[in-house]
Amino acid sequence: MSSSEQEIQQKSSDNQQEQVSNAEINAPKHDSATDAAQQDFTAAEQYKNKGNDLLKTKEFSKAIDMYSKAIELYPSSAIYYANRALAHLRQESFGLALQDGVSAVKTDPTYLKGYYRRAAAHMSLGKFKQALSDFEYVAKCRPNDKDAKLKFTECSKIVKMRAFERAIAVDKPEKSLAEMYRDMENITIEDDYKGPQLEDGKVTLKFMKDLMEHYKAQKRLHRKFAYKILCDIDVYMRAQPSLVDIKVPDEEKFTICGDIHGQFYDLMYIFEINGLPSEKNPYLFNGDFVDRGSFSVECIFTLFGFKLLYPNHFFLSRGNHESINMNQMYGFTGEVTAKYTSTMADIFTQVFNWLPLCHCINQKILVMHGGLFSSDNVTLDNIRRIERNCQPPEEGLMCELLWSDPQQWMGRGPSKRGVGIQFGPDVTEAFCKANKLDYIIRSHEVKDMGYEVAHNGQCITVFSAPNYCDTMGNMGAFITITGNNLKPNYTSFQAVPHPDVKPMAYANSLMNWLA
């Protein structure tokens, strides 16, 4: 049974008496003036129950619709807001989840699940202090509740760790990884290691083929070679611009992939059906290589290896999950620490800071992870000038490149995620016209077919992690173009089997309800 099913089942048993008492307290009295209100409450309960059933079967959008109908009929139930918040969390609409968590607490300050939902949304957004205050409140209300105490303790550890990291940070010239880890050359390769080895310190095609087979067999790359790949990627990425221009020659194919999210065996399937990367088969992977899926280490070393092997024919963009907040919560930091060391997890943080933010193909297609901007008149030169060697800020061009989403209606609006913005077809059209682009490609969102064409064909989403988190049932997809025909061609594909390691296996324990 999945964690979401367990939670809903637990919720059902926990809340049976609560719902009865709420019904007795909150339900309208039976008199002629309140019969209609009583009917609304009864209908609202039916919608809520349908929503709970849909949540169990992971039909999150339909569940949200049911909870919304319940709230429309009877907005005085904190349970409806809290349940809808959980569905929004499952869809990674953290901003909407936060709004519902706030509404649940306002509607009934004694309903403790409202505080949990609000805390979950804050955690998902990296706002740990705000989450801590909610966990603290629940722990005080339930002093004998071990789960409440555990959540408070774990969140408190994160807040203290962040404060310590800020306290020891000093302004000093940043050293390259090679300078920081010169003793890497002294790492011993054990006699019983039979895995792939770099040749004279370099990635070769043989090494990459051996590495992928090694990973398929659930074996690890030796730490000496892992450190070497990271050091070489660090040197290379530092020299790259924030916006990389790509020239695809006439007649030659070029492939754009979206989120991978640690789904290594699906990544291997892409290479199986579309061919291994090569100088004649170039790729661009558009961010969110890691987190959630529990084979993120295998994914990132495979991608970094191909980048070193084919630096001018294999491209990587940064996603919102190439950041310390996301990595610490959604599993990558835990996975690297489990498979290697916490030191290596810190190294990844530095390397991710240098990943380019977007790519422009043949001066006509702009590819970024998230989307467009809250400001008009943003140019490609503005993007080129972004100082990207940092953690993603909470606003501005870099934030919006990594976090924004398209919307169907005109204009701009607040983000359902709580970070970035939503932008309409008019915004996309104006941006493309001003920058002489045909269209943009972005990722960042699960789509049923693995892709979606919006904004009159000028905004295309591609997502390459099928059956995302083993729960969503979506297909993955990738896009191919040729240099003299930039019309996108779409290939959708189903998920393939993987070893029995669940998504989020290495995530922070506080995120278990999002598994």
Could you check whether 37-168 and 193-514 share the same CATH topology?
no
The secondary structure of 334-389, three-state, reads HHHHHHCCHHHHHHHHHHHHCCCCEEEECCCEEEECCCCCCCCCCCHHHHHCCCCC
DSSP conformation letters of 11-26: HHHHHHHHHHHHHHHH
Which phi and psi angles does 158 have, rounded to 5°? Answer: -65, -45
Angle between helices 342-353 and 223-238 (to 10 degrees): 20
Q: How many angstroms separate the CA atoms of 164 and 48, rounded? A: 44
Q: How many angstroms separate the CA atoms of 95 and 124, rounded? A: 9
Question: In Å, how far are 131, 165, 303 from 121, measured between CA atoms?
Answer: 8, 23, 31
Q: How many angstroms separate the CA atoms of 280 and 207, rounded? A: 19
- For residue 391, how far is the Cα from the chain centroid? 15
Question: In Å, how far are 6, 56, 155 from 1, measured between CA atoms?
Answer: 7, 10, 26
Burial 299-336 (b: 16+ CB within 10 A, else e): bbbbbbbbbbbbeebbbbbbbbbbbbbbbbbbbbbbbb
What sign for the dihedral angle of Cα 173, 177, 181, 185?
Answer: negative
Model's pTM, two decimal places?
Answer: 0.88
Q: Which two tokens stand for residue 475?
A: 């297909």
Fold topology of 193-514: Purple Acid Phosphatase; chain A, domain 2 (3.60.21)
Q: How many angstroms separate the CA atoms of 272 and 276, rounded? A: 7
Burial 405-432 (b: 16+ CB within 10 A, else e): bbbeeeebeebbbbbbbbbbbebbeebb
CATH class of 37-168: mainly alpha
Which candidate in 88, 321, 359, 455 is catalytic? 321
Q: Which two tokens stand for residue 350?
A: 């530095």
Q: How many angstroms separate the CA atoms of 155 and 178, rounded? A: 34
Which phi and psi angles does 46 have, rounded to 5°? Answer: -65, -40
Q: Catalytic annotation on 321?
A: yes
Q: For 87-121, how does the pLDDT look when each residue is reduced to its tens digit (9 = 90+)?
A: 999 888 999 999 999 999 999 999 999 999 999 89
DSSP designation for 242: S
Q: For 352-402, how does the pLDDT look when each residue is reduced to its tens digit (9 = 90+)?
A: 999 999 999 999 999 999 999 999 999 999 999 999 999 999 999 999 999
The region, left, alpha or beta by phi > 0 then psi within -120 to 50, assigned to residue 464 is: alpha
325, β-bridge pairs: none
- Cα angle vertex 392, ends 391, 393, to 5°? 110
- Domain segments of the chain: what residues? 37-168, 193-514
Question: In Å, how far are 21, 51, 62, 82, 121 from 46, measured between CA atoms?
Answer: 17, 9, 14, 16, 26
Res 410: pLDDT: 98
Q: How many angstroms separate the CA atoms of 448 and 288, rounded? A: 18
Q: How many angstroms separate the CA atoms of 451 and 479, rounded? A: 9
Q: Strand, coil or helix: what is 398?
A: helix
Q: Which two tokens stand for residue 259?
A: 């989120």
Amino acid at site 337: T
pLDDT per residue, tens digit, the chain (515 aa), is 444 444 444 544 454 444 444 544 455 555 655 788 888 999 999 999 999 999 999 899 999 999 999 999 999 999 999 999 999 998 889 999 999 999 999 999 999 999 999 998 998 888 889 999 999 999 999 999 888 888 898 889 888 877 776 676 655 556 677 776 666 777 889 989 999 999 999 999 999 999 999 999 999 999 999 999 999 999 999 999 999 999 999 999 999 999 999 999 999 999 999 999 999 999 999 999 999 999 999 999 999 999 999 999 999 999 999 999 999 989 999 999 999 999 899 999 999 999 999 999 999 999 999 999 999 999 999 999 999 999 999 999 999 999 999 999 999 999 999 999 999 999 999 999 999 999 999 999 999 999 999 999 999 999 999 999 998 999 999 999 999 999 999 999 999 999 999 999 999 877 765 44
**Which of 95, 91, 87, 103 is closest to 54 using CA atoms?**
87
